[in-house]
Structure 1
């Protein structure tokens, strides 16, 4: 979930942040977002700010954490300070990065004049909650509180309350609502309330109330106001609506409405009159527009997303729920569908001219050349997989509802194969001649076909398969070695068995045996055959690897993220991992320690020191440095191995 955001005034740059160390940035007005690296995954980041050069940035969050970036948000470092251990809710810095200010959830204001080395702070009126700080230039800035609007003209040395000192009588007579959001532009300040009203305040030698407007979001908390000039702007509240003004805030009208009434627009920004983006909570969707809000496109960020790598020769593509694009940063989507269309969940290809993308509600997008996609429809089923032979004509398709379809013309027309099952079909895999085809489903079911046109024979690799679901099946290129990912089945919300495990075959699926040697309870999402090892991904951001063809598995430490990981790609000495919520990580393979390291915390002189333990093998030419901050925060201990 996006908690904080900041957008450049001069370019289409933007940054957002959230839980589990999530920081993403855009350089094209919100159409594409890139995930930052070197961000701790165990922190909650609430706010973010960047200087006008779009290179120097600051982010802050729970427990007083402050991070700094010097490369536009690509990477971040932790800044140690003694200002506060409370949660930081808003942050801002001057263009030279010397003056800075933070607001905390305990109504504290801290300021620094030497780049964060020293901080001075004080507590504000506890009944008047501090919400957000924003500076127009290095000296002129505002703080919005629930019942105040503070202004400074001298870089925070003195703050004046415009509401109490100049406008209290006018505002209180009109509206006693609590302030919730604001924006400042061209000598005007627009302040939204928790009841859906907006005050437009003129700024100058003396502040004056220009207008008080009831918006279409009455009785809803306004959480975002984005003005692109003195007349044009947008606002969002805890509703499905996005409103727009074209007369400086005197009148607001509905410009856009989400069709799902259970969703709410939480964060929103417009770079100019045409380019904008916003984020939807409870469904994890990020939308952008290039025509002033007439149409929106976006990517889904929910846990159900399927992010995959697709590799053609020397070029790699990324498939997400709503787009198909090059893996290179800032590349425009080859295919992007409107947010109102069903999400895509599965991609298949034999070469770069023949691509099939499928998803919810039976929708199929297919390309037979030049990456121009056509569409076809199979009822309203949720498609979970498909495969084709090397001619790209004959193929099979399975659905979550237990149906199997066959095509002979490359996917333009599909025929029901009279294979209706009551249980879900979860994955399908086949060789290029379709003479070895496998389907897995719930209740431990496996179906096998040795002909391009069937028939299909059922198998029960597990004696107690009724208690398990087969979620995925993967084979090597020769279709001799293969694995089935086995998940525990839930009944009435309770697990019948605990923990995922694997079924393995070394003879092309004729026989299978179980591999259950895992140190912890995992839920697996995907298994990948690498060049010299096997990789296994989990729903909680862990990677496991095997060097003995899957008989023994060891967890790569530390955990990369708390998001689900879906795919992994070895390429040019790097390991690239992709997951949900836009997570994307590149690891330098030649710098990684593939013999797994575990840390055991031991006590020494009242400090916790990690003890190095090897699962197997040995470490060659490894310099490992571990830094730990003592419990009282007064001492930093470093140990080298």
Structure 2
């Protein structure tokens, strides 16, 4: 190898051609290394972005109901057995976690507003002014009670939501209307597993839309004009809680005796950490009407609503991010368990989410 000559000029040392060539080769190698590293970093970032997108876009949409008809409610008794129900008395059941569905006859053409199972066999349906029950997982449904206008001063009853608070005690909320105008609220209960039903008077005439119990004593109901009702004695007495809004509230979900959420029209989300003694609004950049909310633990929760809106929270409902639903259909109901999420809505839409 020839000696490397170094000469000086007024600016300092200058390098001979062999050294320049060696340095040029080194710089070319370093440039290539930088390009490789940059490419690897780009690929890693792309994978992370794709994973994030997949997490945010994990809902897949299919149609399981009748075309042009809404699915209004969904319930799963376990990870495999579930039901969806909606307009024209439509009910469909899956026994394999949603891979296949089979329609079940109920015996009504009324829209089904709610479906609720105590276990894989014992279930209830609310359709118009009627209550249906099954003891064999929906293979057969029988009407167990029909309410008439004569029982409510000539006003037509509509039943919206049903929940059990004990082994034999259940609650139903709804409204009584004349010429499609709500004139009174409805709160009805049974103490004998549905053999008989009794109306309970409450301090509001507003339409009641959803009811939830966390124990045999503690329950809440929500409805029109920001109505929130609460009982601490198993329903013997109901008191009004201050919601701070006049927006219609469509759904309420309590995780325990203190922490819960309520959602409604005009992007309304309310949160309580003291059992409803106070409700605080949660501001989100979405003005859609929210129709259902459910939390699976203290941190993780979902909301669905009109226009295919789906929101998710991972901090107990303090903040929410939007998820891609793959649909613009209204989403009326939501069910989330440890592994899967389900949402149902317009045009027979069924959305599944794998957590």
Tell me the TM-score normalised to structure 2 length.
0.65
Match of 1:272 among 281, 292, 297: 297
Aligned to 2:279: 252
Q: Deviations over 1:157-213 (max 9, x none)?
A: 12232x23xxx5xx2xxx432322221113211122311131211234x7123x422
Match of 1:240 among 263, 267, 277: 267
Match of 2:70 among 40, 44, 56: 44
Q: Deviations over 1:530-579 (max 9, x none)?
A: xxxxxxxxxxxxxxxxxxxxxxxxxxxxxxx979xxxxxxxxxxxxxxxx
Aligned to 1:124: 147
User: Are 2:253 and 1:226 aligned?
Assistant: yes
Aligned to 1:59: 84
Change in CA separation of 1:47 and 1:88 when aligned onto 2, cut-off 3 Å:
same
Q: Between Structure 1 and Structure 2, which shows a larger proportion of strand residues?
A: 1
Q: Is the 8 A contact 1:37 1:75 kept in 2?
A: no
Gaps of 5+ in 1: 1-29, 305-329, 332-560, 564-579, 585-641
Change in CA separation of 1:286 and 1:114 when aligned onto 2, cut-off 3 Å:
closer
Aligned to 1:181: 210
Aligned to 1:134: 163
Match of 1:202 among 216, 225, 232: 232
Q: Is the 8 A contact 2:186 2:207 kept in 1?
A: no
Of structures 1 and 2, the one scoring higher in RCO (CA 8 A, sep 6+) is 2
Q: Is the 8 A contact 2:105 2:141 kept in 1?
A: no
Superposition deviation, residue 111 in structure 1:
2.3
Aligned to 1:17: none
Superposition deviation, residue 38 in structure 1:
8.1
Q: Is the 8 A contact 2:311 2:322 kept in 1?
A: yes
Q: Between Structure 1 and Structure 2, which shows a larger proportion of helix residues?
A: 2
Superposition deviation, residue 241 in structure 1:
2.6
| CA RMSD across the alignment | 3.2
Gaps of 5+ in 2: 1-54, 150-154, 176-184, 329-338, 341-345
Q: Is the 8 A contact 1:39 1:75 kept in 2?
A: no
User: Are 2:182 and 1:153 aligned?
Assistant: no
> 2: CA distance between counterparts of 1:49 and 1:96?
11
What SS is found at the alignment partner of 1:249?
coil
Superposition deviation, residue 69 in structure 1:
1.1
Alignment of 1:360-509 (within 5 A): none
Change in CA separation of 1:581 and 1:243 when aligned onto 2, cut-off 3 Å:
same
What SS is found at the alignment partner of 2:116?
strand
Q: Deviations over 1:503-524 (max 9, x none)?
A: xxxxxxxxxxxxxxxxxxxxxx
Aligned to 1:75: 100
Aligned to 2:123: 100
Change in CA separation of 1:289 and 1:155 when aligned onto 2, cut-off 3 Å:
same
> 2: CA distance between counterparts of 1:214 and 1:226?
17
Superposition deviation, residue 71 in structure 1:
2.0
Q: Is the 8 A contact 1:112 1:120 kept in 2?
A: no
> 1: CA distance between counterparts of 2:143 and 2:223?
30
Change in CA separation of 1:44 and 1:241 when aligned onto 2, cut-off 3 Å:
closer
Superposition deviation, residue 276 in structure 1:
0.7
Aligned to 1:437: none
In the comparison of the two structures, how many residue pairs are matched? Answer: 266
What SS is found at the alignment partner of 2:225?
coil
Q: Is the 8 A contact 1:212 1:250 kept in 2?
A: no
